[in-house]
Amino acid sequence: MEYSVGHKRRLALRYLFFVIGVAINSFGIAVITKAALGTSPISSVAYVLDLAFAPTLGEFTFAVNLLFIALQIVLLRRDFQPIQLLQLVVNVVFSALIDVSMMLLDGLAPTGPVSQIVLLLAGCTVLALGIAIEVAPNVIVVPGEGAVRAISSVSGKPFGSCKVAFDVTLVLIALTLSLVFFHGIQGLGIGTVISALLVGRIVNLVNRHVPLLAAIAGLSRSEMGAPEAAM
């Protein structure tokens, strides 16, 4: 299939913004975790497993994300685009970037509740921005956000609202695992709850009020306004 120069340029920009979104996303997760008030909901299950067993947060994130990819296939069925199988590659990169981000922030240790809350809110904002940028180009997504997008597509509910429900569900699963493995709460905290309730809403705000997101989303359409494929 022949593609115009304009299409190739738009496609390259779409994937560039996607990669930027993935990097911001992983960094936001690390910032929230470093606030020491509980990790982000999207990482809560992996983090509890990380505390209970030897593999790193990134490695458990990879395993959990495989389940998110399977969920998309089940929900979307014939509407699942084969290109989204590249989420397997994205999963490797995203999981590795989480471990890299954790290492880069290794010396970050807030000393009191005020600094913890400030760091938590900063992390939520960074994570929401990363999610919004990652989803806007309409190419591949990180598996967790792909699962949310699949739920949004099937249910007809706004992406941000589905994100809140999805995050709360993950927190409940992580809480159950924590009680099973530690007979108490480990890896979860008020920061996890705040993230679950806040990140999706920030995504909605960013999508509505940041013109860059509309411009990025516009890259998925041709000069004539028709949707363009992600390849």
Q: pLDDT per position in the chain (231 positions), as tens?
A: 456 667 788 888 898 999 999 999 999 989 998 898 888 888 899 999 998 998 888 999 999 999 999 999 999 988 888 888 889 998 999 899 999 999 999 888 888 889 999 999 999 999 999 988 988 888 887 888 789 889 999 998 888 788 888 888 998 999 999 999 999 998 888 888 888 888 888 988 988 888 888 888 888 776 555 456 555
| Measured CA distances, 61 to 80, 95, 203, 209, 231 (Å) | 22, 6, 22, 31, 27
Q: What sign does the dihedral 18-20-26-29 (CA atoms) show?
A: negative
HSE-CB for 221 with a 13 A CA cutoff? 10
Q: What is the pLDDT of residue 71?
A: 94
Rama region for 138: left / alpha / beta (φ>0; ψ in -120 to 50; rest):
left
Q: What is the pTM of this model?
A: 0.82
Q: What is the pLDDT of residue 226?
A: 47
The structural domains of the chain, with segments of one domain joined by +, span: 5-217
Q: Which residues contact 203 (CB under 8 A, 6 or more apart)?
A: 128, 131, 132, 159, 160, 163
Q: What is the pLDDT of residue 73?
A: 94
Q: What is the pLDDT of residue 42?
A: 83
Specify whether the CB–CB gap between 158 and 29 falls below 8 A. no
Q: What is the pLDDT of residue 63?
A: 94
Residue 215 Cα to chain centre, angstroms: 21
For the chain, give the longest Cα–Cα distance. Answer: 60
Q: What is the pLDDT of residue 196?
A: 80
Q: Which residues contact 194 (CB under 8 A, 6 or more apart)?
A: 37, 120, 121, 124
DSSP state of 157: -
Q: Tell me the backbone φ, ψ of residue 227, rounded to 5 degrees.
A: -60, 140
Q: How far apart are CA 60 and CA 62, in angstroms?
A: 5
Q: What is the pLDDT of residue 223?
A: 57
Q: How far apart are CA 124 and CA 37, in angstroms?
A: 12
